[in-house]
Amino acid sequence: MITVNLFLSGHYNGVRLFLLLFCLATALQFTLHAREQLHFWRTMPRRVYGNPPRLLGRVQLPALTEGQFLLAGGLFVTGLLGATVGILPQFFLLVALIAYFFYFNPIMPLAYIQRKTNLIPIVLLILLLSPGLSQPLTQPTPIWPLWLVKAALAQIYLSAGVQKLRRSGWQWGDGYSLQAYLVEHYLWGDTPAAWWLAQRLWLCRWISRLTLLFEVSFVLILVFPALTPLYVAGGLLFHLATGLTMRIHYLIYLGPVYLVFVPEVLARVPPWSYR
Amino acid sequence: MIIAFTVVLGVLAWVTIRGQEAWPFSAYPMFSGRTAINKVRVVRIALETDTGARVWWRSAFYRYPEAVGLSLKKLYAPASTTSTTPLVSAQQQKIYAEVVRLLRQEEGDRHRYRALLVISRTVEPTEERASGEQALVIQEEVLARLPLSHDHS
């Protein structure tokens, strides 16, 4: 009888597992949206939005020709897929990381890209520096890379909450601000869910308070892993709700980052045995 | 490894504490301001068809109408409507030209539109009902109507 227990914490290569999941999922999302992203590039967004953001707030990346833009996209997805093969993963991760900046920079104003792809290069950088990328899944590896990815994810929510408290204080939770943002989005885009919710101030109030609480406390999963399922569910629900009411679609390119929790979930699966 | 770990954590903490943007690191300041529905004012572009009907400009990339609306909102701010300077007028014309360009690019034949309308939208709340619902009434004002020439070039 062979007893196989792959997924107990410390007994498997969670980093390589996450690399496989993240790179494949991101490559899939990219492929599904590549045509739309090219169409957006062709509308010359710079003419409406001005210059794209500077790298690290300092370096203005050069404008690309269409051929260069397509090449950057090709290198990005090639890097992602190449990293999953297990041969020279650091090289392919570096290719994907560099290509990311050139490809996504000019199309940053696209609704599901602006800020929603921010974690892609951060995760690629963390993976690039991680041990065990080529090791088998049964080979134990340190878990700090996964912890750091979770910290990057937690920073999104923590910072969003901190900025609300900084600008508005706890009064942000009184519901009036959320109501106004919902109304604004309805006036722009006729989203019925936003209009329905905006007419229920008491509900806006509760959602505002829960949102603030969720955002400032998400970081607790880093020290209390038992809270992870609650906050992951909360995060997914949060993004589904903003997608429905405000057409803010974070999960297209942030969803693959949430796969960082899969190794942890699998670690709780009871060991199985083969005869 | 420890240095890299510390640097990544440090930058994440820095943008959070300072509230600054350093793409791809961000403070995610969206929706952080305090506001209320009586302060909401949206400027939106509508299109007058050849039959006289009015339809909203809906781009395949829905942020375009929003971005255009935000730019026009500044140019049509109440303080500026009483004295439209040549600079403001030139900026408005540039924006309208971009709208027409995007329309042509996305829809091809724009000849079915005879005018572009700039519409301001606000909301008036009514009293809150016992059920907790608050009916909201939308108010609209046409700020400008720009005839579109039928350019066959």
Q: What is the pLDDT of residues A212-265, one digit of tens each?
A: 999 999 999 999 999 999 999 999 999 999 999 999 999 999 999 999 999 888
A109–chain B Cβ distance below 8 A for any pair: yes
Closest residue, chain A, to B23 (C-alpha): A56
Res A102 pLDDT > 60: yes
Interface pTM (ipTM) of the complex?
0.90
Task: Verify whether the Cβ–Cβ distance A115 to B30 is below 8 Å.
Answer: yes
- pLDDT of A122: 97
pLDDT at position A3 is 34
Mean pLDDT of A165-173: 96
Q: Could you give the CA distance from residue A260 to residue B69 in angstroms, rounded to a whole number?
A: 39
pLDDT confidence of residue B76: 86
Q: Which of the pair, A8 or B90, is modelled with greater confidence?
A: B90
Contacting residues of A for B4, CB less than 8 Å apart: 129
Between A90 and B130, whose confidence is greater? A90
Asked whether A122 and B24 are in contact (CB, 8 A), the reply is yes
Say what the alpha-carbon torsion angle A173, A176, A182, A183 is, to the nearest 10 degrees: 180
CB contact set of A267 (below 8 Å; sequence gap of 6+): A7, A8, A9, A12, A14
**What phi and psi, each to the nearest 5 degrees, are found at residue B86?**
-55, -35
Alpha helices in chain A (DSSP H): 14-42, 46-49, 66-85, 89-104, 119-128, 144-168, 176-189, 192-198, 201-217, 228-246, 251-258, 262-266
| Spatial separation of the C-alpha atoms in residues B20 and B18, rounded to whole Å | 5
Kindly give the parts of chain B with pLDDT less than 70: 78-85, 88, 109-111, 129-132, 150-153
Query: Is the pLDDT at A272 greater than 80, yes or no?
Result: no
For residue A160, pLDDT over 90 is answered with yes
Q: Can you tell me which residue has the tokens 């992602």?
A: A80
Measure CB to CB from residue A159 to each of B16, B23, B39 and give the nearest one: B16
Minimal Cβ distance to B12: which of A48, A155, A168: A155
Per-residue pLDDT, A4: 33
- Mean pLDDT, rounded, for A127-150: 92
Task: Give the per-residue pLDDT at A203.
Answer: 96
Residues of B in contact with A202 (CB under 8 A): 132
pLDDT at A269: 67
pLDDT tens for residues A179-195?
999 999 999 999 999 99
Percentage of chain A modeled with pLDDT above 90: 87
Residue A5 pLDDT > 50, yes or no?
no
pLDDT at B108: 80
Q: What end-to-end distance do the CA atoms of chain B give, in Å?
A: 61
Supply the pLDDT for residue A264: 82
Q: Cβ of A184 and B42 within 8 Å?
A: yes
The closest CB to that of A181, out of B1, B31, B134, belongs to: B31
pLDDT at A156 over 90: yes
| Least confident piece of the model among A1-10, A31-40, A203-212 | A1-10
Q: What distance in Å separates residue A132's CA from the closest CA in chain B?
A: 13
Q: Does A147 touch chain B (CB under 8 A)?
A: no
User: How far, rounded to the nearest angstrom, does the alpha carbon of residue B83 sit from its chain's CA centroid?
Assistant: 22
With beta carbons less than 8 A apart as the criterion, state whether B40 and A184 touch.
yes
Inform me whether the pLDDT recorded for A67 exceeds 90.
yes
| pLDDT at residue number A275 | 32
Under DSSP, the state recorded for A272 is E
Q: Write the CA distances from A100 to A14, A167, B143, integer angstroms.
A: 24, 32, 42
For residue B49, the surrounding DSSP H or E stretch is strand B41-49
Sheet with B113-128, edge to edge strand ranges: B54-56, B41-49, B113-128, B134-147
Q: What is the pLDDT of residues A108-138, one digit of tens each?
A: 999 999 999 999 999 999 999 999 899 999 8
- Residue contacts between A and B (CB atoms, under 8 Å): 162
What is the model's pLDDT at position B77? 77
Nearest-Cα residue of chain A relative to residue B44: A188
Residue keyed to tokens 């406390």: A217
- How far does B83 lie from chain A, in Å, by closest CA? 25
Specify the pTM. 0.92
Smallest Cβ–Cβ distance between B28 and the set A43, A156, A178 belongs to A156
B98 contacts in A (CB within 8 Å)?
Answer: 47-48
Q: What is the pLDDT of residue A266?
A: 79
Where is average pLDDT lowest: A47-51, A85-89, B78-82? B78-82
User: Which of chain A's residues have a Cβ under 8 Å away from the Cβ of B19?
Assistant: 159, 162-163, 166
Q: Give the per-residue pLDDT at B107.
A: 84
Q: Quick count: other Cβ atoms within 10 Å of Cβ A178?
A: 25
